[in-house]
Chain A
Amino acid sequence: MILQVKQLKKYFSTGKSFFGKSRGTVHAVDDISFEVAAGETLGIVGESGCGKTTAARLLMRLIEPDEGEVLLEGRRIGGAQGGMSLTEARRRMQMVFQDSYASLNPRLPIEASIAFGPMVHGVAEREALKRSRDLLARVGLEPSRFAARYSHELSGGQRQRVNIARALALQPRVVILDEAVSALDKSVEAQVLNLLLDLKTEFGLTYLFISHDLNVVRYMSDRVMVMYLGKIAEIGPVESIYRETGHPYTRALLSAMPTLDPDRRTTEPPLAGDPPNPIDPPPGCRFRARCAYAESVCERIDPADAVGHSGHLIACHMSIPRSGHTRQGLAQ
């Protein structure tokens, strides 16, 4: 296990006036735990506001968690005696952001943007620039034409390649891709995705692939984690998730994917109820307000992850043995 996340929590308080109203708390990431094996791609999906971007930033320590710990290669990030310092962690884990333009300093030529990371960690400028140009070639941008360009002179797809090169400059083992292809046109997206797969093989990387596009996630991932309102709804091998879905939310997401296949008709009831309010969530299962199968047990007890079938964890009472739910065991 190259990456282990244990009981990660991050709450934000929404400030209110000091007359009357209490401060609400946004449970952005609420006690999530998962593991990622070396060399695999974990896809993370969920609607906007489910906490996946916050989780990514927590892993990168761009935000400080309120509780919980992250272990990289078995060592606790930020932990004393035997733990891993932040500087070390930054060398081993990198991130590619969604907005390709905002991710690059418009004042720097792109080779300088890529070389910045290594230079921070002590690599000499000439060596760093050389590495930068090598990486540009690797991601398909010919150095002699692109190295001295500025970000506003590149297209979206080219910029994202630069961002990938920048992430790889520190020779990390884990790369978090936060909606890295979401802003690209479809044809460009396909090229960048294939580039990512090639790089993964060549450099032996581990990916955390965050996206809201279920097709892309299926294409890229070995395992998939579904998040809802700061908690994990379901996590398991990709084909398991897509074919033997356990959680009603995942099923609703999948059924909402448009398809021309007449054999795949929508047989599940659509999502009911209102979109969730991440501030001060009610007790019990987070999803029950929109779930067609919610019952009283869902209101009282928040379903912890249970062992579903074959390494596939589902946070739903219908999949938990002896939960008291009338449809327990009828997970299909």
Chain B
Amino acid sequence: MSAVVDAIQLAPAAAAHGYWRSVFSRLTRDKVALTFFSILVLIFVAAIFAPLIAPSDPYASSILNRLKPIGTPGHLLGTDELGRDMLTRLIYGGRLSLLMGLAPVVLAFAVGSFLGITAGFVGGRVNTAIMRTVDVFYAFPSVLLAVAISGALGAGIVNALVSLTIVFIPPIARVAESVTTQVRSLDFVEAARASGAGAPTIIRVHIIGNVLGPIFIYATSLISVCMILASGLSFLGLGTKPPQPEWGLMLNTLRTAIFQNPWVAALPGMMIFAVSICFNLLSDGVRQAMDVTR
């Protein structure tokens, strides 16, 4: 055999890097993303450890103590319209609000990815059937659809979760289908077919790894929308029911109090806003980190 040595085997200085390692290192250098990530972690931790951190009982009401202003001794952030401590209710409120903001997206990610990847990979009539059905739900503005389904089902956490999941499945499924169709047409998938691999193997080895990334990024960008929508449903009386502490519901019940104690009334919304912005900026940061590596 003649010399088959590649004279231009220029070895890059760095050793072979895992893909996720480089994404992670890029992320940790993004100051903005890190700041808001820390804030988010703080809020999460506070919510999880609420019983340990909160000063009082979120359900303890006292008519005499109604709508005390911020800075009242014993009630750092004032009290609500039933005399309950605001700080406590805000911390506890994080549990339900975060749950209702995250769970639907997680569920929709699972279901939507499954539908979209199947449609994108199989193509043909299966694709048409799945995507046209998805399109029907996509034809509704999301708020309207959420309100419609929740309105019919009635108030309650589970109902709201169902409604929100249904709202977020179509956009995720569409993205999943689009990405899968693109990846499927790449040469390495053809090469895998040419090797004689069957569809399940190809999907497992070649498609999933390349497709879940973009879908995941897209899903994270939906979290803040879901949070606002979930709290919005509670605000309309379609989500959590009183006396449960949840930021949207608190906004609703405090609404009538804006003439007496506007600052306290605005507090729950501040929390929703803060979490929403954190998720948005974090999602942007993740997207940038994943982009540059490609």
A4 at the binding interface (Cβ < 8 Å): no
Q: Which residue of B lies closest to A88 (CB)?
A: B196
What distance in Å separates the Cβ of A8 from its nearest Cβ neighbour in chain B? 18
Are A116 and B187 within 8 A (Cβ)? no
Q: Are A141 and B196 in touch, CB under 8 angstroms?
A: no
Q: A99-B187, A107-B19, A153-B16 given as contacts; is B4 within 8 A of A138 (CB)?
A: yes
Of chain A, the residue at the smallest CB distance from B12 is A153
Tell me, rounded to whole Å, the shortest Cβ–Cβ distance linking A105 to chain B.
5
Q: Any chain B CB within 8 A of the CB of A106?
A: yes
Q: Judge whether A166 is part of the interface by a CB distance below 8 angstroms.
A: yes
Contact A191 B6 (CB under 8 A): yes
Instruction: Indicate if the CB atoms of B196 and A90 lie closer than 8 Å.
Output: yes
The interface size bin for chain B is: 20 to 34
A68 contacts chain B at the CB level, 8 A cutoff: no
User: Which A residues fall within an 8 A CB radius of B?
Assistant: 60, 62, 86-87, 90-91, 94-95, 97-99, 102-109, 113, 116-117, 120-121, 138-142, 145, 148-150, 153, 155, 157-158, 161, 163, 166, 170, 187-188, 191, 194-195, 198, 202
CB of B52 closer than 8 Å to a CB of A:
no
Which residues of chain B (163-207) have a CB below 8 Å from chain A?
Answer: 186-188, 190-198, 201, 205-206
Residue B136 lies at the interface, judged by CB distance under 8 Å to chain A: no
Question: Taking the complex as formed, is B209 at the interface, i.e. its CB lies under 8 A from any CB of chain A?
Answer: yes
Per the bound structure, the CA–CA distance linking A95 and B193 in Å amounts to: 11
Q: Which residue of A lies closest to B4 (CB)?
A: A140
Contacts of B4 in A (CB 8 A): 138-140, 194-195, 198
Residues in A neighbouring B12, C-beta threshold 8 A = 153
- 15 residue pairs of the A-B complex, CB under 8 angstroms, read A60-B194, A86-B196, A90-B194, A94-B195, A98-B187, A107-B210, A116-B197, A121-B195, A141-B9, A145-B11, A150-B19, A155-B10, A157-B6, A191-B7, A194-B2
How distant is B186 from chain A, measured CB to nearest CB, in Å?
5
- Chain A residues with CB below 8 A from B209, complex form: 105, 107-108
Chain A residues, CB < 8 A from B294: 106
A139 and B9 CA atoms in complex are apart in Å by 12
In the complex, chain A residues whose CB is within 8 Å of the CB of B190: 62, 97
Instruction: Given A90-B195, A153-B16, output 19 extra A-B contacts at Cβ < 8 Å.
Output: A60-B194, A90-B194, A97-B190, A97-B191, A102-B188, A103-B187, A105-B209, A116-B197, A116-B205, A117-B197, A120-B198, A121-B195, A140-B4, A140-B6, A150-B17, A157-B8, A170-B196, A191-B7, A198-B1
| Shortest CB distance A131–B (Å) | 13
Cross-chain contact A120 with B210 (CB below 8 angstroms): no
Q: A103-B188, A198-B1 are in contact. Are A120 and B201 (CB under 8 A)?
A: yes
Q: Which of B1-55 contact A (CB under 8 A)?
A: 1-2, 4-12, 16-17, 19
Closest chain A residue, CB of each to CB of B192: A116
User: Of all chain B residues, which has the CB nearest A139?
Assistant: B4
Contact B186 A102 (CB under 8 A): yes
Given contacts A138-B4, A140-B6, contact A105 B210 (CB under 8 A): yes
Query: Which residues in A have their C-beta under 8 angstroms from that of B17?
Result: 150
| Partner pick for A141 among B2, B6, B197, CB 8 A cutoff | B6
Residue among A105, A139, A157, A163 facing the most chain B CB atoms (10 A cut-off): A105
- Given the interface pairs A105-B206, A149-B16, A198-B1, the reply to whether A116 lies near B8 with Cβ below 8 Å is no
Q: Are A161 and B6 in contact (CB under 8 A)?
A: yes
Nearest-CB residue, chain B, relative to A94: B194
B97 to chain A, nearest CB (A): 36
CB-based closest 4 A-B pairs: A90-B196, A117-B195, A107-B209, A102-B187
Q: Whole-angstrom distance from the CB of A31 to the nearest CB of chain B?
A: 24
Complex Cα spacing A296 to B7, Å: 57
* Interfacial residues of chain B within 45-69, with CB under 8 A of chain A in the complex: none
A106 touches B11 (CB 8 A): no
CB distance from A160 to the nearest CB of B (A): 11
Q: Which residues on B sit within 8 Å (CB–CB) of A87?
A: 196
Closest CB in chain B relative to A240 CB, distance in Å: 28
Q: CB within 8 A of A120: which of B5, B10, B19, B197? A: B197
Q: Which of A62, A108, A113, A191 contacts B194 (CB 8 A)?
A: A62
B193:A62 contact, CB within 8 angstroms? yes
**Contact, CB under 8 Å: B188 / A170:** no
B11's closest neighbor in chain A, by CB? A145
CA distance A35 to B229 in the complex (A): 66
- Judging by beta carbons under 8 Å apart, are B188 and A158 in contact? no
Question: Within the assembled complex, what's the spacing in Å between the Cα atoms of A97 and B187?
Answer: 7
A104 — nearest CB in chain B belongs to which residue?
A: B188
Q: Chain B contacts of A98 at CB under 8 A?
A: 187
Contacting residues, chain B, for A62 (C-beta < 8 A): 190, 193-194
